[in-house]
Amino acid sequence: MDPASSPDPAPRRGIRHTVLAIAGVALLVIAALLVGRFAGAAQATPGDSSVEAGFARDMQQHHLQAVEMSFLVRDRTDDESVRLLAYDIANAQSHQAGQMYGWLAEWGLTQASPEPSMTWMTRPTIDGSAHEHDGADHTPGEPMPGLATSEQIAELTAADGVEAERIFLRLMIAHHLGGVEMAEAAIARTEKRVVVDLSTSIVNSQEKEILLMEELLAERG
């Protein structure tokens, strides 16, 4: 056969490539729609009585007490290691409290809770299993884990020097342990990415600070 009269394979290859490209784009679009649908379901805006809203409201209060105690000890000691720790805690937790305030505003929810504090910790975990310190046995309306009492705050306020440092370190270790418990309880109950990320950050940072505070407390007898 005369090569000049044979069909040119180039157009066929072009058509085949075009069809494959269109099919590939269609598959990508379908995959994106499916991912978007599943992500949208997982990232739905939390409701007023949701775990996410309850956590944001309660952890704000918890954090703000840590900020208060940090300012108190800062003004009652000249020890640079304790003052630096207090500054770091106050700075980090005031920033995180602001983030949680912003979540509620973005979700169109009030800062005040429609139910007793810590009610969210009594709700089932995502996988339905029991977790150590998962907060399921916490009674709604009772003080948050690790929260200092008014008497303890008064004791810190009245102290100074090394005694103020000791009181602060004891109270803040307990406070951090309670914060870690709350953060882990939130992680076990939500798939909301911003909540999981912040809660994980709280667990990691506060566990490190607990170790530091235990060392500082041991140095003070």
8 pLDDT higher than 80: no
* Residue 105 exposure: Cα atoms within 13 Å on the Cβ side: 6
From CA 136, how far away is CA 13, in angstroms rounded? 64
Place of tokens 């299993």: 129
Read off φ and ψ for residue 130, nearest 5 degrees: -85, 140
From CA 156, how far away is CA 167, in angstroms rounded? 6
From CA 27, how far away is CA 110, in angstroms rounded? 42
Give the model's pLDDT for residue 29.
Answer: 44
Name the residue type at position 163. E
Q: What is the mean pLDDT of the chain?
A: 85
Question: Judging by beta carbons within 10 Å of its beta carbon (0-12, 13-18, 19+), is residue 202 exposed, middle or buried?
Answer: buried
Q: Where are the alpha helices (DSSP H) in the chain?
A: 9-42, 51-74, 80-106, 150-158, 161-187, 193-219
The predicted-structure confidence for 162-191, as pLDDT tens digits, reads as follows 999 999 999 999 999 999 999 999 999 999
101 pLDDT higher than 50: yes
Give the model's pLDDT for residue 220.
Answer: 94
The predicted-structure confidence for 109-120, as pLDDT tens digits, reads as follows 999 999 999 999
Rounded mean pLDDT of 80-87? 98
Give residue 135's pLDDT band: very low, low, confident or very high (50, 70, 90). Answer: low
Q: Tell me how far the alpha carbon of residue 51 is from its chain's centroid.
A: 12
78 pLDDT higher than 80: yes
